[in-house]
């Protein structure tokens, strides 16, 4: 009866413990010889046990059961440690070390996963003994002694240089550390460049194949290229001698050109206008539009009013009377006896016929002349082409407006 009561109490206690616990899973690269039912500790206090160890690819998955009162942050870490030198393995859970401000983030709960980035395992005693045996069995002591002796020989008498080299190396490393971000950016840029070149491997291969014939031709013409470079060097030497010998003459020629250039600058716009007129001499440039075939269209109107001509002459003279010329004394010439010449008969000239009607405005009204008609037009111009038809006849025909030619 007592045994039954004890068993019942144990079952009730187990059920209560099961209800007050939660499961957490951790991933390890190596669980060593960890076995199920191994202890799970926090600060060397057992808070749970390992329920199951499974393999997922090359990762060992350890499922643990923790008591409900275990309070750990959501970013807790897990490590496989050993209770003593030959003791059993257990899983140690802890808050992330050296990450102040993150220890209180979240809370580890049922079903949470502690990834590979937050798990680790301690060194095995066998690994430590194996490394120690390798060192003690001549695997490293002899080499270490040789290295020490050679370093001493190399540094003997050069302590100052070695110290300076170490200081320079320290500054170099400090500079590299200060430019760490730029170095990372450069490496990333090189990575992008390499990725771009990798996508264009075929294009680069075709370009290299296309360069091969050109490189072959250059290799074949190597001697000619060398001779050309040597000749170019000789040409430069000759050019330097010529420039040195003609420097004064060149400067003198430039100085002689200065007045010409000054006159060209002073000419300004007149020079291109003069050149334009010289191409069409003796006609002005705008006369090209009047030339049609073998004749030139011309229209001219002449004002032959004598009164206007005299008025213009007086106006050009300023309206002032002409100055009287001084009377110069003339020398008294001796009188020479002249022979008497016989009288010569003079022919009588017939009177010139004048028109009975003169165009007005051509001449001013003079006594003994008939009235004058309005002005004279020397030609008739075509209103469409501007061509002028000349007048036919003598002076009288011109004055009275004769028939067109």
- Model pLDDT for residues 215-251, shown as the tens digit of each residue: 889 899 999 999 898 888 888 888 888 988 888 888 8
Indicate whether 10 pLDDT > 80: no
pLDDT band at 28 (very low <50, low <70, confident <90, very high): very high
- Mean pLDDT, range 96-106, rounded to an integer: 60
pLDDT tens digit string along 43-93? 989 999 999 999 988 899 999 999 988 888 888 999 998 887 778 889 999
> In sequence order, what are the residues at sequence separation of 6 or more whose Cβ sits closer than 8 angstroms to the Cβ of residue 138?
none
Indicate whether 350 pLDDT > 60: no
Average pLDDT for the chain: 75
Tokens of 346: 């003079």
Q: Is the dihedral of CA 229, 231, 235, 237 positive or negative?
A: positive
Q: Please, are residues 53 and 25 in contact by the beta-carbon 8 Å criterion?
A: no
Provide the pLDDT for residue 66. Answer: 93
pLDDT tens digit string along 178-211? 999 999 999 999 999 999 999 999 999 899 899 9
pLDDT tens digit string along 67-76? 988 888 888 9
Provide the pLDDT for residue 27. Answer: 93
**Does residue 253 sit in helix, strand or coil?**
helix
Q: Please, are residues 233 and 240 in contact by the beta-carbon 8 Å criterion?
A: no
Q: Is the dihedral of CA 152, 155, 157, 163 positive or negative?
A: negative
Provide the pLDDT for residue 338. Answer: 56
pLDDT tens digit string along 330-341? 556 556 565 565
Instruction: Look at 369 and 131; give whichever has higher pLDDT.
Output: 131
Q: Phi and psi at residue 65, in whole multiples of 5°?
A: -115, 125
Q: What percent of the chain is predicted at pLDDT more than 70? A: 65
Provide the pLDDT for residue 173. Answer: 92
Distances (CA, A) of 379 to 244, 249, 283, 383: 72, 64, 22, 12
State the CB neighbour count (10 A cutoff) for residue 94.
15
pTM (global) more than 0.75: no
């Amino acid at each position: 009866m007592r045994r039954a009561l004890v068993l019942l109490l144990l079952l009730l206690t187990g059920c209560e413990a099961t209800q007050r616990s939660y499961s957490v899973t951790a991933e390890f690269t190596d669980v060593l010889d960890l076995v199920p039912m191994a202890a799970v500790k926090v600060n060397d206090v057992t808070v749970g046990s390992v329920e199951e160890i499974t393999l997922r690819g090359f990762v060992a998955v350890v499922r643990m059961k923790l008591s409900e009162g275990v309070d750990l942050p959501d970013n807790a870490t897990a490590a496989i440690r050993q209770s003593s030198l030959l003791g059993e393995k257990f899983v140690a859970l802890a808050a992330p070390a050296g990450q102040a401000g993150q220890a209180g983030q979240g809370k580890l709960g049922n079903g949470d996963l502690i990834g590979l980035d937050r798990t680790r395992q301690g060194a095995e005693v066998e690994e430590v003994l194996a490394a120690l045996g390798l060192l003690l069995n001549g695997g490293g002591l002899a080499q270490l002694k040789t290295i020490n002796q050679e370093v001493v020989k190399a540094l003997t008498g050069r302590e100052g240089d070695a110290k300076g080299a170490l200081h320079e190396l320290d500054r170099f490393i400090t500079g590299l550390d200060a430019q760490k971000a730029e170095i990372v950016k450069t490496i990333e840029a090189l990575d992008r460049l390499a990725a771009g070149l990798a996508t264009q491997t075929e294009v680069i291969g075709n370009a290299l194949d296309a360069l091969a014939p050109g490189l072959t031709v250059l290799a074949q013409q190597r001697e000619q290229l060398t001779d050309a470079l040597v000749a170019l060097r000789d040409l430069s030497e000759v050019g330097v001698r010529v420039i040195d010998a003609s420097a004064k003459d060149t400067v003198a020629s430039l100085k002689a050109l200065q007045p010409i250039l000054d006159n060209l600058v002073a000419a300004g716009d007149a020079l291109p206008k003069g050149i334009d007129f010289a191409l069409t001499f003796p006609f002005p440039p705008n006369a090209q539009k009047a030339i049609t075939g073998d004749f030139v269209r011309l229209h001219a109107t002449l004002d032959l009013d004598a009164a206007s001509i005299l008025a213009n002459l007086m106006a050009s003279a300023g309206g002032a009377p002409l100055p009287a010329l001084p009377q110069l004394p003339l020398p008294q010439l001796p009188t020479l006896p002249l022979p008497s010449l016989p009288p010569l008969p003079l022919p009588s000239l017939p009177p010139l016929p004048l028109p009975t009607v003169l165009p007005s405005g051509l001449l001013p009204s003079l006594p003994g002349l008939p009235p004058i008609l309005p002005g004279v037009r020397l030609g008739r111009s075509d209103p469409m082409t501007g061509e002028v038809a000349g007048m036919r006849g003598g002076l009288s025909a011109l004055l009275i407006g004769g028939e067109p030619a």
